[in-house]
Chains A and B, each alone.
Chain A
């Protein structure tokens, strides 16, 4: 069964069309990354799926529910990390988790969740004494304490230092190994690439590309072949790297030459992303450069 099915989704705020015609499905157990610049419509999309906003048009199914009219078990089965939220400043980490655990029929063990998000030493610290990264881990902990099947993570690592980010990635990977479905929004490309089974790139309220990180990087931009000849760098871009490379190298072998500093590389997801999300003129320039 699909964990999430979205088709023809639209949402406008006044004259601003935040989401215009979005379709995607997420399978159970999949980590799905929604990638895009600020204002692309990621958060609006996610908040419609979470049940916070009403859509203007389209069909949405989340765990078999319409989030606008969810059954009583819908909220038992989802976990939410909002882009911005704070918790009661004077409760401890442990008390905050216990408070949220009490809302669910079958919560996970509170101490186990606190350990999972790496806050064991801070269990008795008041929330107001936590650092930004620790508060974010608290958000993740209380999203997991109800033992959800589907977890929404809206920019879960924004503001983290690199080390905290790696730790958060480990946690998100452990969610996948627990069989949870994860919908992750991020504007960090490496994050989407590292964590997601599939990535959808959003731009101006539309999904402009969806696929595995590998598919995006192999189908979207040409492979780049670089080498040095007479002290100058030569760059070739091609859809047929095997043929081009074979011709290039056999010619060089025939001439008895060495191709200096020969490199073959796939474009990174970052390059694909920049090409997809840049303005039209810029993206042409990017590809041709």
Chain B
């Protein structure tokens, strides 16, 4: 037998492994009531609440449109950043990641499937937000769907990189959701995901000006509210790329598969 033949026959093909793991990830996600509620449903519930309290216009569009855009931003941070970080810490500390390392599933395939699964949840959530908005508040669908899809994928990628970096920083499972929410909620307020920050004190706005979510919300606003192409926002894209890259580099150097020594 040639070396090539041996290699082909000794492992399941990468695509089959990827699809198998993607299915498992989806099963694991939807089986967990906590994940399904706090990660998937929570932004939709917030939309129900905020959509019914705000009225009037903002930046020349009905304010409920802006609420929807902000919640797409919040949903992205909630799913790809917070949800992913907490899940990864729990799996690392319970030994699941370590156990998976001794199987033939390649680490890159595992990460790819986990990210694809996270993106799928976020995409479904975004579709849910638009359907809910359409049905209850008359919000339109994105004018340029292609640009909007690209926006969503960029956001998911940047926040997933920050999620894995944060997971690498958190040392124990007990504190993980507290730490993550301590980052997520102030970030959501300061970045304008829950409404305009114009009335905030200057120091808070200055903090907001460096947060990745601020620029993602700007990007969603530009593409959704004003019909701009995603590439027309170089500043937002550059800041997001910098955050994403920082998260990725931190992850590459600090990510661990094994629980802390006990």
Interface residues of A (CB under 8 A from B): 50-52, 71-73, 75-76, 78, 80, 82, 84-91, 95, 99-100, 102-105, 142, 146
Contact = CB atoms under 8 A, between A and B. Distances in A.
B99 A80 contact: yes
Given A82-B98, A85-B94, A103 B12 contact: yes
Contacts of A80: 99, 102
A89 B104 CA distance: 22
B105 interface: yes
* Interface SS majority for chain A: loop
Interface of B is mostly: helix
Nearest first, the 7 closest Cβ-Cβ pairs linking A and B are A85-B95, A90-B31, A73-B10, A102-B20, A86-B94, A80-B102, A103-B103
A14 to B, nearest CB: 12
A80 B105 CA distance: 14
B41 interface: no
A91 B28 contact: yes
Contact of A103 (B17, B27, B262): B17
Interface residues of B, number: 27
Contacts of A103: 12, 17, 20, 103-105
A85 B99 contact: yes
A50 to B, nearest CB: 6
Central interface residue in B7, B10, B101, B103, by most chain A CB within 10 Å? B103
A102 B24 contact: yes
A183 to B, nearest CB: 13
Contact of B104 (A50, A104, A142): A104
A100 B20 CA distance: 10
Contacts of A82: 95, 98-99
A90 B6 CA distance: 37
Contact of A84 (B7, B17, B20, B95): B95
B24 A72 contact: no
A52 B258 contact: yes
B7 to A, nearest CB: 6
27 contacts: A51-B101, A52-B258, A72-B104, A75-B103, A75-B104, A82-B95, A82-B99, A84-B95, A84-B259, A85-B99, A86-B94, A87-B96, A88-B28, A88-B31, A90-B32, A91-B28, A91-B31, A99-B20, A102-B20, A102-B24, A103-B12, A103-B103, A103-B104, A104-B12, A105-B10, A105-B12, A146-B103
A87 B96 CA distance: 6
B104 A105 contact: yes
Contacts of A105: 9-12, 104
B3 to A, nearest CB: 10
A85 B104 contact: no
A100 B259 CA distance: 20
